A and B are shown apart, each in its own frame.
Chain A
Amino acid sequence: MSSGGTVVIADDDPDIRALIALSVTRAGAVVAADVSTGGAALDAIRRCVPDLAILDVSMPGMTGLQVCRAVRADPATSDVRVLVLSAAVDAAAVAEGGAAGADAYELKPFSPRTLAERVRELVRPRPPRATGSESATRFVAPEE
C-alpha cells in the first residue's frame, strides 16, 4: 500500500515526532526529514521539496504557521502540502491555520490511525488544485 510520497516532519517533542513518523510509515510514505525547530523545518522543505510537511504549531524559533506561510510564499515550495498539527483547540487557531495556507489541520492528541489516513490522502498524486474539498476538514485554499 505504498504511495511512495515523501514527508518532512517537524515537532519539538521527540516522542510525538516518532509517533508521527510511525503514522507516516504506516501510510506507506517516506520520512524525508525529521526536525525539531521551525527553521530546520523550512530548510528541510526547501532542500527536499517533499509531498507533505507535517508541522507542529508551537516550536522553538519559527512556529509551524510561520513556516507554512514561508512555504506558500516561496514558488519553489508553494506546491508542498502542509498538515498543521496543534495542541490548540479553539476555532480561532484552526482558522489561523487555514489563513496561513495549510491544507489540513489535526489536533493533538491525534490518533496515529487517523493521521496515517490523512497522510495517505495528502500524498496521493495531486489532482488539479482547484477542486480542493477532499475531506470535510480541508481548507479552501486562500485566495491569492
Chain B
Amino acid sequence: MGSFASGFWLPRGVGGRLRLLANDSDILAGRQLGILAVYLLAHLMFLVPGVGVTDGQAWVVGLAAALMAGATATAFVLRLPGMPVRAVMVIPLLDLVAIGFLRAGTGGAGSVFAALLILPVLLLGVQPGMLPLFIGTPLIVGVVFLPQLFDPTSMADGQWIRAIFTPLILVISALWIHGLKHRLNSRVEAVQVLRRKQEELLAEAQDNATASIAASNLIQESAHQMAGVLDAVTEQSIIGTDLCGRIDVFNTGAQKMLGVAAHEVVGRRNVVDFHLPDELSRRAGEDPGDTRSPLTAPVGDGDADVQDWTYRRADGSTLRVRVAITARHDAAGDVEGYLYVATDVTEERRQARSKDEFVNLISHELRTPLSSILGYLELISDDDEHPLTAEQTTYLATIERNAQRLLRLVSDLLFTAQVESGRFALQESDVDLGTVVSASLEAARPVATARDVSVVLSRPATAPHVWGDATRLGQAVDNLVSNAIKFTPPGGRVAITLSTTAGDDPEREMALISVSDTGIGIPADEIDRLFSRFFRASTAVQFAVPGVGLGLTITQAIAVAHHGTIRVASTVGEGTTFALALPLTPVDDPVEAPPPADGVRAGGLPSRG
C-alpha cells in the first residue's frame, strides 16, 4: 500500500499511470512477493519448538506451498504483455486457498498462522470491481471451514463461533479496503483531471505569452517603422499632439521648418507655441460661440481641415504654411489627439503672385492694342464724311468680330487665371435673375437667328432674386446660352428656364436657371472633365465647334463663388441640359479676406481656401 499512497507524489509522467496502479502487474507481483515472504517466514517458524505440522497432514501443508508457488508464478506470468488484466484477481484467490490449507495443516482453527489470511483478503479488497469480492466471499467462508474437512472436531468447544466471525471480519475488511481504494481512485482521478486542466492552462498561458511577445515585437517594429517614415519626411512638418495640444510627435521636417530639436519640444511644448497668438484669436473670434481651439474646431471626424496658417519659428521669424489637421483615434475609435501636417507655401505663393503679375501684364498688353483696333474701327465706321462701301463695311465687320473674339479670349484667360489663383472679385448687389436671363437671350438672339436655332425663355411672372455679381452671373448665363446655340444644329431649339426649387438643404430654396438644347450632346465619360480648363468634348472637336474650353470652367467658378452649383445631363445626339442653381438668400461668406472695398468681396473656389 505504501507505493500506492506515494503515487500521489510521484513526479509528472509517473503520475499518469496512477489510475492503473491497482491493476498494475508489476506492483501485484511485488505484493505477491511480500505475501510469499511472510509465507516462507511461517515455514521457518516450523523450526520453533511447539510449532509444527499437524500429524498426518504434511501433504496439506505441501499442497499449500504448491498453491503459493502457483500464485507467485501466476503473478509473474501476468506481468507479461498481452495478459488479461482481470485475471490478476486469481492471485489473491490462490493465496487465500494456499493460506487456508496452511492453516488447516497447522492446527486448523487454532493455527498460529490464521492471521496470514488477512494478507490475501486485503489484496482481494484492492482488486478493481466487485467480482473478486463476489468470488472471494464464499471462498473465504470455505477456507475458514477447511480444517473441518480434516478434523471434524475442530469446531468443538465453541470454535464454530470463530468460524462465523473470522470470515465476517475478513469480508468486511475486504469491503472496507475496496471502498477506501475506490475513494482513493476517485480522488486520483479528480487530481488527474485537475492536473490535466492545469497543464492545459499552463500551455494556454505559454501560448498567450508567446503571442504577446510576438505582438509586442510587432508593435515595436511598426513604431520603429512609423518613426522612420515620419523622419523621412523632411520637407513637411508633422506634429502630433494630444487633445490639449501637447506635442508627442515632432518629425525631422518639423525640426527643420521650425528650427528646434525634437527633444526640446516633445512632452514640453504645446502646438499653439508655434502659432501667432493674434492669428489664433482672430480665427477664434470668427465664431465667438465656439470655445474650442480654432485649430481643431473645424476638423471633421474623418476629414482633414486644410487651412493656411503662420508658423512662428524658434528664432521668432514667421513662415506661411498650409496645414492639414486630422484627428488621431485610439483603439476604441475615440479622438485622442491631432496630427498637423504642414507644407511651406512661401514658394507656392511667390509663384502664384508672379503668375498673376504675368497674366495681368499679358492681359494689359493684349488689351491695349485691341483697344486701339476697336476704337479706330469705330471711328472709321462712324465717319459720316467718308461713307464706306458695302464691301468695306463687311470687311470692317469681320475685323471687328475677330477683334471682339480675341478680346473675349483674353478676358476669359485672365478670369481663369484669377479663378486658379483662388480669388476673383465679385461686386455684389441684389440681382434680378429675370433681367439676367432676358439680357442673355437678347444678346444671343442674333447668333441664334443666323444659325437658324430657336431660343425660348420660360420664366415666372415674378423672377427670383439672388445676392451676387450681376455681371458675372450674366457672363455665366451667356456662356451656357451661347454654348447651347453653338452646339445645336440648324433647326434645333434652345430652352432657357428660370424657376425656383428646393436645394440640398430643404430650408433653402434655390433659384434655378436651366439651359437645354437639342444639340450634339456630350459622351457620358466626358461629363466629369467638362468643367476642366481647356477641355473640349470629343463631339465639339468632331463637329468643329469653335472654342478653347474655358467657358464652362468660368461658369462653374462663378456658380461656386455664388455658393451655387452647376449640373449637367446629356445624351449624345439628343441634347444637353445645364442647370445652374443659386441660393436665393445671402449666405455667410467663408472667404477670410475682408472685402477690399464697399460692396466688393473676394470670390473663389472654396476648395482652394
**A residues bordering B, Cβ < 8 Å?**
13, 15-16, 19, 22, 58, 87-96, 98-99, 108-113
* Distance of A58 Cα from B371 Cα, bound (Å): 14
CB–CB B378/A112 < 8 A: yes
Does B571 lie at the interface of the complex (its beta carbon under 8 Å from any beta carbon of A)? no
CB–CB A87/B364 < 8 A: yes
30 CB contacts below 8 A, A to B, read A13-B368, A15-B372, A16-B368, A16-B371, A16-B372, A16-B375, A58-B364, A87-B364, A87-B367, A89-B411, A90-B415, A90-B418, A90-B425, A91-B471, A91-B600, A92-B425, A92-B600, A94-B427, A95-B427, A95-B596, A95-B599, A95-B600, A96-B597, A108-B367, A108-B368, A108-B370, A109-B407, A110-B375, A111-B378, A113-B382
The one of B368, B373, B376, B427 that contacts A91, using a Cβ cutoff of 8 Å: B427
Residues from chain A with a CB closer than 8 A to the CB of B376 are 15, 19
CB–CB B600/A109 < 8 A: no
A132 CB to nearest B CB, Å: 15
B15 CB to nearest A CB, Å: 95
* Distance of A43 Cα from B230 Cα, bound (Å): 63
CB–CB A19/B597 < 8 A: no
* Distance of A126 Cα from B367 Cα, bound (Å): 33
Does B274 lie at the interface of the complex (its beta carbon under 8 Å from any beta carbon of A)? no
Does B363 lie at the interface of the complex (its beta carbon under 8 Å from any beta carbon of A)? yes
Does B379 lie at the interface of the complex (its beta carbon under 8 Å from any beta carbon of A)? yes
Residues from chain A with a CB closer than 8 A to the CB of B600 are 91-92, 95
Which secondary structure characterizes the binding site on chain A?
helix
* Distance of A94 Cα from B469 Cα, bound (Å): 13
Interface mask (B201-240 → A, CB under 8 Å = 1, otherwise 0): 0000000000000000000000000000000000000000
CB–CB B379/A13 < 8 A: no
The one of B411, B424, B425, B597 that contacts A99, using a Cβ cutoff of 8 Å: B597
Residues from chain B with a CB closer than 8 A to the CB of A95 are 425, 427, 596-600
> How many Cβ-Cβ contacts under 8 Å join chain A to chain B?
77
Residues from chain B with a CB closer than 8 A to the CB of A88 are 360, 364
Residues from chain A with a CB closer than 8 A to the CB of B424 are 90
Does B374 lie at the interface of the complex (its beta carbon under 8 Å from any beta carbon of A)? yes
Name the residue of chain A whose CB is nearest to the CB of B361: A58
* Distance of A88 Cα from B596 Cα, bound (Å): 16
* Distance of A92 Cα from B372 Cα, bound (Å): 24
B554 CB to nearest A CB, Å: 12
* Distance of A88 Cα from B427 Cα, bound (Å): 14
The one of B370, B373, B375 that contacts A111, using a Cβ cutoff of 8 Å: B375
Residues from chain B with a CB closer than 8 A to the CB of A112 are 375, 378-379, 382
Known: A16-B375, A95-B427, A108-B368. 18 other contacts (CB 8 A): A13-B372, A15-B376, A16-B368, A19-B372, A19-B375, A87-B364, A88-B364, A89-B411, A91-B426, A91-B469, A92-B596, A95-B600, A109-B370, A110-B375, A111-B374, A111-B375, A111-B378, A112-B378
* Distance of A53 Cα from B418 Cα, bound (Å): 30
Residues from chain A with a CB closer than 8 A to the CB of B471 are 91
The listed residue with most B CB atoms (<10 A of its CB), out of A13, A90, A93, A95, is A90
Residues from chain B with a CB closer than 8 A to the CB of A87 are 363-364, 367-368, 371
* Distance of A19 Cα from B596 Cα, bound (Å): 32
CB–CB B371/A110 < 8 A: yes
Give the 3 A-B residue pairs with the shortest CB-CB distance, closest first: A91-B427, A92-B425, A109-B371
The listed residue with most B CB atoms (<10 A of its CB), out of A22, A92, A96, is A92
Residues from chain B with a CB closer than 8 A to the CB of A13 are 368, 372
Interface mask (B426-452 → A, CB under 8 Å = 1, otherwise 0): 110000000000000000000000000
Does B114 lie at the interface of the complex (its beta carbon under 8 Å from any beta carbon of A)? no
CB–CB B379/A19 < 8 A: yes
Name the residue of chain A whose CB is nearest to the CB of B404: A109
- With known contacts A19-B379, A96-B596, A89–B372 Cβ distance under 8 A: no
Does B463 lie at the interface of the complex (its beta carbon under 8 Å from any beta carbon of A)? no
Residues from chain A with a CB closer than 8 A to the CB of B371 are 16, 19, 87, 108-110
* Distance of A109 Cα from B378 Cα, bound (Å): 11
Residues from chain A with a CB closer than 8 A to the CB of B304 are none
Residues from chain B with a CB closer than 8 A to the CB of A111 are 374-375, 378
Residues from chain B with a CB closer than 8 A to the CB of A58 are 364
Interface mask (B279-315 → A, CB under 8 Å = 1, otherwise 0): 0000000000000000000000000000000000000
A-contacting residues, B320-368, CB 8 Å: 360, 363-364, 367-368
Does B188 lie at the interface of the complex (its beta carbon under 8 Å from any beta carbon of A)? no
B47 CB to nearest A CB, Å: 139
* Distance of A99 Cα from B596 Cα, bound (Å): 10
Does B414 lie at the interface of the complex (its beta carbon under 8 Å from any beta carbon of A)? yes
